Structure 1
Amino acid sequence: MKSGNAAPESLRQRAARAIGNALFGLFVAVVLLLTVFAVTYQPPDPWLDTAASAVRMKQLFNKVVDNATFQTAGSIFLTGEDALAPANSRAGGSISIEDAQDAAEKALEATRGLNNGGKDRGCVESDIVVNCSDPGVLAAIEKVNLEKFPEIDAFEYRVPVQGGDERSCDVAWKYRPRRERSKRMYRDYRRYTLVLEPSCEYQVTDVGDWHSGRNARLQRFHGINAFNDSISSRGDDDSSSVGRFLYYTRGGDHCKGMKQFMWSFLCALGEAQYLNRTLVVDLGFCLSGKDNFPGRGDEPGKDLRFYIDFDHLRESTSVIELKEFSKLNKKHKLGKIRKRVISDNVKVSPMELRDETSTTVERSFRESSEPDNYWYRVCEGETEKVIQRPWHMIWKSKRLMNIVNTICGKLEWDFDAVRVERGEKAANRQLWPNLDKDTSAEAVLSKLSGRIDAQRYVYISTNERSPGFFHKLKEKYEVSVLDDYKDLWGPGSEWYNETMALTRGKPVEFDGYMRDAVDSEMFLRGKKRIETFGDLTSDCKDGINTC
């Protein structure tokens, strides 16, 4: 009886041991697999990997405009303006067609009274001299601008002044392009030819070109086209001397691509906001060779104000330029400014500095390329949940945007845009076998036929530098490329003089990044936009078999 009970018991024990051994073996196998995976797997840096960089940047900017660079690495950094939705309707506060019509009706009544002693007998045809100060003149100009330039919102007009002859008037106004997402204002001044109809209503018969109204040029608007990003003497300001500061010394991000630098710079701005400290900003900037003309190396000695709107940054948050900060240190050298230097920046999180009482917190980095010397590492890990990068504080340089708006003005704010990417990709037929052929002038002309109407203004955004390469397209379209507007950054131009004011008279080169920034923005302003990949060629953007 005893042996009979032992047999089933022995079977159950053996089965339990077998199941236990199998489960343990499975557990050991899983542990080994995870160990091997953890040791061998090298995750790509999401901001240095080209494809992941573009995807994550677009996610953070709510899937806004595509990056319009011609660099393989993708050099143009999307700024705070790109995160804003484009204006699809008239901006609040701008002059509407109803406003212009109402002003025209009131001016018409006044004009009839002035010309006829209060009797409604109409105006005589001999009144050939246009009185530019007549309210009817401005009303007619406002109305024609609304019809001719639907891509801009006008906000304020100056009183028209006499133009080049008795029938013309010059007028200046401030405006904002609808396709620009920032809140900046710009100005234009044009010459208008008018006639006084027998009904006493002024009619505009001709609108001058961009900036043609030279007699109205000196009519300045407060804050329009003015720059306030000079290094002010804040060292004498007591409010600055009692503040608290955060300073990142130059690190491994120096001379890296613009995307990496800005990603790191935004981390520093975010930490400064979190700690309620003033960020010390070194305006000395190194342009990476990969963001410049092909074949050029890294170029230190640039000024950050060439590329971003430092005036807007100062209005958005508390920052102080490094030279100003150095003056403060010298002024208060009697121990008033206490400093804490942090060398292990990855281990010391912003949360640990929240209650720091030192006047200055200095995060000390080395310029070598080890990962721990990158500024953006401060905002990784748990810190990423706490520090918010303030994208809205970084706008494109207004100096560059003035060039963009000038080109748009010359194209009457009514043009289509084509992006033609050639350069190294067109020369590499192993990865892009059809690109060179598909982006020839003849092929582009053939592709545009049927998609863009003849005689339209067409702006070609391209890295093709051969003069006259797209001359064939002029048979059908009013074609222009960036080099057609060299005078906008050449010696004596506004951009040339304004940048020299930042460098104490040293001429500034219009470098490759600036070209790409202007070209990219011009492409985005086009009413119709034709891309290289997907529109002009069947090749994949990143090479064969990557679509």
Structure 2
Amino acid sequence: MPSSDQDDDHHDEGSPLFRGSGGADDDRHSSRRRSSTSGASSAVGEVPVSQSLIKAASNVCFSFFVFAVLAVTVVAVTYQPPDPWFQSSAAITTSLSRVLPNSTFLQPDDSLLPTGEDFASPSAAPGAAAAAQRDAADDQAAAVPALGTAATNGTCDPDAPLNCSDPRVLAAVRAFNAKAFFRKSIVFLSYEAPVPATKPGQCDVAWRFRNRREKSWRRYRDYRRFELTAGEGCALDIVKVGKFRSGKNAARPPRRKGPKRPQVAAPPVDAEINDTIPVVGSEAEFRRGKYLYYMRGGDHCKSMNQFIWSFLCGLGEAKYLNRTFVMDLNMCLSGAHTEDGKDVNGKDFRFYFDFEHLKESVPLVEEGDFLKDWHRWDKKKGPGRMTVRKVPTYKVTPMQLKRDKSNIIWRQFDGKEPENYWYRVCEGRAAKVIQRPWYAIWKSKRLMNIVTEIAGRMDWDYDGLHVIRGWKAQNKKMYPNLDADTSPDAIVSKVTKLIKEWRNLYIATNEPFYYYFDKLRSHYHVHLLDDYKELWSNTSEWYNETTSITGGKPVPFDAYMKVIVDTEVFYRSKAKVETFNNLTRDCKDGINTCNL
């Protein structure tokens, strides 16, 4: 039997008593042959454990790799980038969509509502590439001295009267500006020909510039008065320079409308502002158009936060539907943004926002002209009549209207609040489809011109202090430390540790008492918004610009305009001291919200 044979074999191999016998040797050779045959067959049929483990690990890794590829593919196909563009908009989305149970926005914050120019890179804005190339060309032209700036073989006459058309004047101004504004975030784009000033030896020079701290591609103008004298060789030296926009002779003359009447010389206006209302050229063009018309809803007279959030929802739906948005320029300023707390109707969108940039960014028409054209050109009955789709509720989603062929989609918001808010259209599933065009909203260039002038008067070399008080300082329950932390003594104690003394210090604040910061005047050159009231007085450029919109009716410089100017000047400062980051221990949104 096999078992006995194996036992014998093991016995023979293990016992020294039988090693010399021939039979034992034969049995031993036979046993070795059987053992080698058995080992060979087992080697063919079995895989080493190490190889099995490696193969199993490789299979697991490959499975994970396939799963990861599938996951990335699904995310890439379904992902909708947040507004605006690829920057994280969690903060602004949280603040704007934070609503009470009845969908009414919370009391607005004391800080300024951000717009597209605040958090968008210039490359993301429409037309930014062309603007960048244009600015680069202007920068290069400004850096190269004008032809003929060098002395012509040293034949100049140092005693000759100054001729402002001499190329050496512009060369001296360029060299002076390059040195004086080297560290002040100013980019000089182009210069205009110098013109004579009021006295011999003086020239007025105008130029265009932009601020590196701004993410929009706006251009501004400055014109200053320079006093020059002959220097070494044939060069000209600048001995005196006027303040921001002091070279009045280089300013553009104001536009005049109507018959000429003897008037006091008006200040110059920004000729580059073009916020005229776009009109439809012909009946055929009007009929070919596709429009999205939002009837006024419950957002009227709500806070500016809610207005912009809702307005951008309408623009986003119009873009999604590939339609022209019908826009009402008439706004109502909420009492949350007025000094007396009362709503003010009849405000124009162009007072607060850049309508020129808006109409260049998205297709739109003004509501009044649209309704006139509609009634004038749509009198036919039967075939040829413009088709209208009335949408009575926000619950009809943009996706359901995507294939609608009507000339006009008319959203009506006749329900009760909160059913009649525009932004309800972009809630739910529509939030994954509608992209709010934040890039289309910029602040009014008229207000930004005031910002530029205030910063220019400080030669763009100042630090900023932002002090929020108002209703927050009075609310001891939500802000227990704010009032004490922003007292005059506490401010002096903290600011002097953060900002060097005797710097220009601009204070942006909602504190109504002008002399509240007088203790800082012993350490700094203090500037407040009220120090520049002449910039919006009835003799100002801003006044002339706004009355041209209203047909001559004066426009009050309201509290929200002051917030825009105040905050934007602060943004352009060098060192910045903020209320909730530097002055107080309280959280910006109240107790226990610092980590939200």
TM class by smaller structure: 0.7 to 0.9
Pick the aligned partner of 1:448 from 495, 505, 511. 495
Aligned to 1:36: none
In terms of mean alpha carbon deviation, does 211-220 or 410-419 score higher?
A: 211-220
Q: For 1:462-541, what aligned pairs fall within 5 Å after superposition?
A: 462-541=509-588
Amino acid at match of 2:555: V
Pick the aligned partner of 2:453 from 382, 395, 406. 406
Pick the aligned partner of 2:244 from 200, 204, 210. 210
**Shift of residue 464, structure 1, vs aligned partner:** 1.0
Pick the aligned partner of 1:349 from 397, 402, 427. 397
**Shift of residue 543, structure 1, vs aligned partner:** 3.5
Aligned to 1:361: 409
The answer (yes or no) to whether the contact 1:243–1:359 under 8 Å persists in 2 is: yes
1:139 and 2:187 matched: no
Q: Tell me how far apart the structure 1 counterparts of residues 400 and 140 of structure 2 sit (CA, whole Å).
A: 58
Aligned to 2:329: 283
The answer (yes or no) to whether the contact 1:76–1:258 under 8 Å persists in 2 is: no
Q: What runs of 5+ residues in structure 2 fail to find an aligned partner?
A: 1-82, 84-88, 97-106, 124-130, 256-268
Q: 1:57 to 1:204 in 2, by over 3 A?
A: farther
Pick the aligned partner of 2:159 from 118, 126, 143. 126
Q: What percent of counterpart residues are identical? A: 47
**Shift of residue 473, structure 1, vs aligned partner:** 1.7
Q: Tell me how far apart the structure 2 counterparts of residues 98 and 309 of structure 1 sit (CA, whole Å).
A: 29
Q: Tell me how far apart the structure 2 counterparts of residues 438 and 523 of structure 1 sit (CA, whole Å).
A: 20
1:103 and 2:145 matched: yes
Q: Tell me how far apart the structure 2 counterparts of residues 97 and 440 of structure 1 sit (CA, whole Å).
A: 46
**Shift of residue 218, structure 1, vs aligned partner:** 2.1
Amino acid at match of 2:459: E
**Shift of residue 420, structure 1, vs aligned partner:** 1.1
Aligned to 2:152: 112
Q: 1:187 to 1:240 in 2, by over 3 A?
A: farther
Q: Tell me how far apart the structure 1 counterparts of residues 580 and 248 of structure 2 sit (CA, whole Å).
A: 43
Q: 1:213 to 1:376 in 2, by over 3 A?
A: same
Aligned to 2:378: 333
Paired residue secondary structure (1:496): helix
Q: Tell me how far apart the structure 2 counterparts of residues 504 and 154 of structure 1 sit (CA, whole Å).
A: 35
Pick the aligned partner of 1:182 from 193, 203, 216. 216
Paired residue secondary structure (1:246): strand
Amino acid at match of 1:126: D
Pick the aligned partner of 2:304 from 246, 252, 258. 258
Q: For 1:143-222, what aligned pairs fall within 5 Å after superposition?
A: 143-149=175-181, 150-218=184-252
Cα deviation 1:200-257 (Å, max 9, x = unaligned): 1122222210110011112799x96533223354364642342111101011211111
Q: Tell me how far apart the structure 2 counterparts of residues 99 and 262 of structure 1 sit (CA, whole Å).
A: 40
Amino acid at match of 2:337: D
Q: 1:473 to 1:74 in 2, by over 3 A?
A: closer
Q: Tell me how far apart the structure 2 counterparts of residues 432 and 482 of structure 1 sit (CA, whole Å).
A: 26
In terms of mean alpha carbon deviation, does 252-261 or 94-103 score higher?
A: 94-103
Paired residue secondary structure (1:378): helix
**Shift of residue 97, structure 1, vs aligned partner:** 8.4
Paired residue secondary structure (2:550): coil
**Shift of residue 455, structure 1, vs aligned partner:** 2.2
Paired residue secondary structure (1:255): coil
Q: For 1:306-325, what aligned pairs fall within 5 Å after superposition?
A: 306-325=351-370
Q: Tell me how far apart the structure 2 counterparts of residues 435 and 232 of structure 1 sit (CA, whole Å).
A: 48
Q: 1:180 to 1:509 in 2, by over 3 A?
A: same
Amino acid at match of 1:306: F
The answer (yes or no) to whether the contact 1:235–1:241 under 8 Å persists in 2 is: no
Larger gyration radius, structure 1 or structure 2: 2
Q: Tell me how far apart the structure 2 counterparts of residues 314 and 269 of structure 1 sit (CA, whole Å).
A: 11
CA RMSD of aligned residues (A): 2.9
Q: 1:237 to 1:458 in 2, by over 3 A?
A: farther
The answer (yes or no) to whether the contact 1:418–1:531 under 8 Å persists in 2 is: yes
The answer (yes or no) to whether the contact 1:186–1:225 under 8 Å persists in 2 is: no
Q: 1:431 to 1:541 in 2, by over 3 A?
A: same
Aligned to 1:82: 118
Aligned to 2:485: 438
Q: 1:325 to 1:463 in 2, by over 3 A?
A: same
The answer (yes or no) to whether the contact 2:122–2:216 under 8 Å persists in 1 is: no
**Shift of residue 136, structure 1, vs aligned partner:** 1.6
**Shift of residue 451, structure 1, vs aligned partner:** 2.3
Amino acid at match of 1:196: A
Q: Tell me how far apart the structure 2 counterparts of residues 457 and 164 of structure 1 sit (CA, whole Å).
A: 30
Q: Tell me how far apart the structure 1 counterparts of residues 362 and 219 of structure 2 sit (CA, whole Å).
A: 20
Q: Tell me how far apart the structure 1 counterparts of residues 313 and 471 of structure 2 sit (CA, whole Å).
A: 33
The answer (yes or no) to whether the contact 1:489–1:495 under 8 Å persists in 2 is: yes
Paired residue secondary structure (1:192): strand
The answer (yes or no) to whether the contact 2:225–2:241 under 8 Å persists in 1 is: yes
The answer (yes or no) to whether the contact 2:352–2:443 under 8 Å persists in 1 is: yes
Paired residue secondary structure (1:449): helix
If the length of structure 2 is used for normalisation, what is the TM-score? 0.73
Q: For 1:219-234, what aligned pairs fall within 5 Å after superposition?
A: 225-234=271-280
